[in-house]
Amino acid sequence: MNNYFKIGRLAATFGLSGQLILEHSLGKKTSLKDLENIFIEENSDSFIPYFIESSKIKNDKEVYIKLEGIETKETAKKFIKKEIWLNENDFQKFSSKAAPISLLGFIIINDGEELGEVCEVIEQPHQLLCKIIFKNKEAFIPIHENLLEKIDKKNKKIFVNLPDGLLDIYNT
């Protein structure tokens, strides 16, 4: 099965011919050149590919994107706020290795116990929150200098030292 990584969302329309603005967190300026398609999650774990006709850099975090089959501003409006996903190979190609989003797919380990795989990274002013599935529930693990022991990029592991009681709120 393919792994998919959320990179951002469609934020607005642009022009009259169905162009959209993709806000991304790839950590670098990119035009997504040579990317064939993006994915939109229609239902849980059901990703629909949308093929890219053209794309162009807007700024560090935004790209103008034209998708096949979307020819009018009215049609494009239906896609605003939709989350955008890439398959694992494309994600590796287009994301910056230094960007927080590059932690997607890493396993968080606290005191020798594997807590779960990072399925979303939420950037906040003084820390990152990594969303994992812990004991069949969504859990948010803070990643900042006081809790982080090390990041093993080769083995895709994040070692943390969480305060006592932090995980207890997910055990109820």
pLDDT tens per residue across span 117-163: 998 898 888 888 999 999 888 999 998 888 899 999 899 999 999 98
Examine the pLDDT at 1 and tell me if it is beyond 50. Answer: no
Structural domains of the chain, ranges and CATH numbers in brackets: 4-94 (2.40.30.60), 105-170 (2.30.30.240)
Q: What is the spatial distance between Cα 129 and Cα 107, in angstroms, rounded to a whole number? A: 14
| CB contact at 8 A, 106 and 117 | yes
* β strands within the chain, DSSP E: 4-14, 19-24, 37-43, 46-59, 62-67, 83-87, 107-110, 113-117, 120-123, 128-134, 137-143, 148-152, 157-160
Give the pLDDT score at 64: 96
pTM for the whole thing? 0.76
In angstroms, the CA 53 to CA 104 distance is: 27
**Average pLDDT of the residues of the chain:** 89
